[in-house]
Amino acid sequence: MKKQKDIFTSDIAFTSTIKALQEHYDSRKAYARMESKRGWANELSPPIIDFVEKRDSLYMGTSNQEGQPYIQHRGGAPGFLKVMDPKTLAFADFSGNQQYISVGNLSENPRSFMFLMDYPSRTRVKIWGEAHVEFKDKALMESLAVDGYSANVERAIIFKIKAVDVNCPQHIVQRYTSEEIDQMMTPLKERITELENELNKLK
């Protein structure tokens, strides 16, 4: 009787062709050990949920029915990417340049990918899944609205998670937003002011 082939979450990315390349370049054993022990998650853990909810941008990959890929950037205030449950993400889609490439791609091919990066901590999270565009559920769409952003929500993107991988920090260059730099500089500025006041008293 033929043994049933083991199926792993990482198979969404590690096709037979890719596994053959891993064999050729001598990395398959390491990934096989990963598969047999822990493997990739198929939902968000509490630490990853916290990570996702703090993001102010993401890159989402889609492709059309012919396989032509496309990557789109999405951004907003931290929390614009909503965790609906450990296996579902969603965000509001506003009027933009009206190219509708991602929307069109998802109408033909629901397979999608999210890439989330935090430069200060040098952390990247990759999420595979399937997404669809919601046009009719007004209550859902409004629940995804971003506080302080007045544009109307035209659509909602609902992303169903199939696999999650957290990459190593190698080669990620630390970068900071202006707000993060201000936070780091505030105690230094306060200390400088304090020292200047003490110096003035001694004059």
The predicted-structure confidence for 167-180, as pLDDT tens digits, reads as follows 878 888 888 888 88
Q: Which residues pair with 75 in a beta bridge?
A: 57
Residue that is written with structure tokens 């919601």 in the block: 134
Lowest mean pLDDT among 83-97, 112-126, 137-151: 137-151
Mean pLDDT in residue range 81-91:
96
Contact at 8 Å (CB) between 14 and 39? no
| DSSP letters spanning 26-64 | T-HHHHHHHHHHT--BSS--HHHHHHHHT-SEEEEEEE-
Percent of the chain beyond pLDDT 90? 59
* Separation between Cα atoms, residue 75 and residue 181, nearest integer Å: 19
Burial class of residue 171 (count of CB atoms within 10 Å of its CB; 0-12, 13-18, 19+): exposed
Which structural domains are found in the chain, ordered by start?
Answer: 1-40 (no CATH), 46-178 (2.30.110.10)
Which of the listed ranges 73-87, 133-147, 179-193 does the model predict with the highest average pLDDT?
Answer: 73-87
| pLDDT of amino acid 71 | 96
Burial class of residue 144 (count of CB atoms within 10 Å of its CB; 0-12, 13-18, 19+): buried
pLDDT of residue 4 exceeding 70, the answer is no
pLDDT band at residue 96 under the 50/70/90 scheme: low
pLDDT of residue 61 exceeding 90, the answer is yes
